[in-house]
Amino acid sequence: MNTIVERATAPTPKFFKVLRTIGLVLASVGTAILTAPIALPVVVTSVGGYIAVAGGVISAVSQLTVEKNEQSQ
């Protein structure tokens, strides 16, 4: 069984590389909304928090995904 470090450093399939990039963009947008220097409505701030968390989760899961033949070696 692979450790988390081995999975994180193993090659990631192309689809999950794209998904990881989308997750990083979402996390960046959410963080930008949360740290905006102007006062934003509470709804916008809440949505920004959810976007940041969702982007982080998508990126983390995508990074730890490996191809089946890579995992069994």
Q: Contact 66/40 with Cβ under 8 angstroms?
A: no
- pLDDT score recorded for residue 52: 97
User: pLDDT tens across 41-59, in order?
Assistant: 999 999 999 999 999 999 9
- pLDDT score recorded for residue 70: 47
Residue 35 is given by DSSP the state T
CA 26-30-33 angle, to 5 degrees, is: 140
Tokens in use for 40?
């934003």
Contacting residues for 73 by C-beta, under 8 A, at least 6 apart: none
Which of 62, 61, 12, 57 is CA-nearest to residue 30? 57
